[in-house]
């Protein structure tokens, strides 16, 4: 009996190919990607199988790829840039390495607040940046981002450095919602409440709760969800001691980071590039973002992986991320002024 998911995916691929005006099996796609997840291999191989388009991939850090595309100029072979976080997508747009895309599929599938106002980049998966805490020692965990600056949590918080793009975008969202003065006061309060100097990645903040270095940590959801799905050293065995809060549930909702991409400014295979982005918005690809990397889909109504669903229902902040991106320079200035290392 044929696999119904595979059949529906093949039908979608054929429809995307016809919509883009191309043949079912035609050409190649040059992908510049800073997504470093092994599970993405399935995304690429499924697209190749469905369309006959060969993906040539170059991987690297986002800033390095953007600089490379800039240096290559009109001779750049890049067709698509994939990266993580709104800040890097905005950086790519500002560098002039992306181009606008007109696609009924993308405009219908991707909510407007998760895509660039000029359709130069689109979000394809989301990660909530939320609060985790030691549920044995903390009986009144912070319920909002503002609470993280409350003096009663002095010496209790583990959070990453100001150079971390997730924190940059979080602070930029606070600037967007509350203005620069309130955002600076918040950042000063968080610095005063830190249990240690910022160090390591999000998993290290969660390990800080396990080790007792701190009682509260800020992390993206998928780092914890990964520890539910698979073995993460120093975390999975101690998950039961960690509680979590999706902040601002009585207000704007929890801040969401993006993983996304756009069509390169000088894409030599532009039709295939658009086709690939449209594929990333399909139900099959959206489900794999969740199942393969414990992320929240960008498309509404797509089933969640068990590890992600275990985090529970919550209200997400639907602020326009194009507006947040505009406040990234202000966020970095605030970090520097308050001494957030």
Quote the CATH superfamily of domain 127-255+315-338. Answer: Periplasmic binding protein-like II (3.40.190.10)
Angle, in degrees to the nearest 10, between helices 328-338 and 165-178 = 100
Segment 98-120 shows an average pLDDT of 97
Q: Put residue 248 in one of left, alpha, beta given phi > 0 → left and psi -120 to 50 → alpha.
A: left
Q: pLDDT tier at 9 (50, 70, 90 boundaries)? A: very low
pLDDT at 2: 34
Query: What pLDDT, on a 0 to 100 scale, did the predictor assign at position 233?
Result: 94
pLDDT at residue 263 in the model: 98
**CA-closest candidate to residue 215, choices 267, 291, 108, 137:** 137
Model-wide pTM > 0.85: yes
- DSSP assignment of 12-63, as one string? HHHHHHHHTT--SS--EEEEEE----GGGHHHHHHHHHHH-PEEEEEE--HH
pLDDT band at 209 (very low <50, low <70, confident <90, very high): very high
pLDDT tens digits, 129-167: 999 999 999 999 999 999 999 999 999 999 999 999 999
pLDDT score for 154: 98
* pLDDT of amino acid 23: 33
pLDDT band with cut points at 50, 70 and 90 for residue 185:
very high
Residue 330, pLDDT above cutoff 80 = yes
pLDDT averaged over the chain?
91
Summarize the confidence of residues 203-207 as an average pLDDT.
98
pLDDT at 12 over 70: no
Percentage with pLDDT > 70 across the chain:
91
State how far the Cα of 142 lies from the Cα of 279, in Å rounded to an integer: 39
Better-predicted residue by pLDDT, 9 or 155: 155
Task: State residue 25's pLDDT score.
Answer: 39
Superfamily covering domain 4-125+258-309: Periplasmic binding protein-like II (3.40.190.10)
pLDDT above 80 (res 100): yes
Note the pLDDT of residue 260.
Answer: 96
Residue 35, pLDDT score:
86
Per-residue pLDDT tens for 219-258?
999 999 999 999 999 999 999 999 999 999 999 999 999 9
Question: Predicted confidence band at 11 (pLDDT cuts at 50, 70, 90)?
Answer: very low
Whole-number pLDDT of residue 17: 38
Q: pLDDT at position 292, please?
A: 87
- Domain ranges in the chain are 4-125+258-309, 127-255+315-338
Tens digits of residue pLDDT in 251-310:
999 999 999 999 999 999 999 999 999 999 999 999 999 988 999 999 999 999 999 999
DSSP result, 114-146: GB-TTSS-EEEEEEEEEEEEETTT-SS---STG
């Amino acid at each position: 009996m044929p696999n119904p998911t595979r059949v529906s995916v093949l039908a979608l691929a054929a429809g995307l190919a016809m919509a883009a005006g191309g043949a079912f099996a035609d050409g190649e796609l040059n992908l510049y990607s800073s997504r470093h997840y092994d599970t993405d291999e399935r995304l690429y191989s499924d697209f190749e199988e469905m369309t006959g388009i060969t993906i040539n991939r170059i991987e690297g850090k986002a800033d390095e790829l953007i600089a490379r595309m800039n240096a290559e100029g009109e001779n750049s072979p890049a067709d698509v840039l994939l990266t993580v976080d709104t800040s890097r997508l905005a950086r790519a747009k500002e560098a002039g390495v992306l181009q606008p895309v007109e696609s009924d599929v993308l405009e219908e599938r991707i909510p407007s607040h998760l895509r660039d106002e000029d359709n130069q980049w689109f979000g394809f998966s989301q990660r909530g940046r939320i609060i985790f805490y030691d549920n044995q020692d903390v009986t009144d965990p912070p319920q909002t981002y503002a609470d993280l600056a409350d003096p009663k949590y002095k010496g209790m918080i583990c959070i990453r450095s100001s150079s971390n793009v997730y924190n940059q975008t979080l602070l930029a969202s606070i600037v967007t919602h509350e203005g620069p003065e309130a955002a600076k006061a918040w950042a000063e309060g968080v610095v005063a409440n830190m249990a240690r100097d910022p160090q390591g990645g999000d998993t290290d903040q969660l390990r800080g709760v396990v080790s007792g270095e701190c009682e509260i940590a800020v992390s993206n959801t998928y780092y914890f969800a990964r520890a539910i799905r698979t073995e993460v050293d120093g975390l999975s065995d101690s998950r039961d001691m960690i509680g979590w809060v999706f902040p601002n549930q009585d207000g704007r909702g929890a801040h969401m980071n993006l993983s996304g991409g756009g069509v390169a400014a000088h894409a030599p295979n532009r039709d295939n590039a658009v086709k690939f982005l449209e594929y990333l918005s399909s139900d099959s690809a959206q489900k794999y973002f969740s199942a393969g990397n414990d992320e929240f889909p960008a498309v509404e109504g797509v089933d969640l992986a068990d590890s992600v669903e275990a985090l529970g229902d919550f209200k997400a902040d639907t602020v326009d991320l194009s507006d947040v991106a505009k406040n990234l320079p202000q966020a970095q200035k605030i970090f520097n002024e308050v001494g957030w290392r």
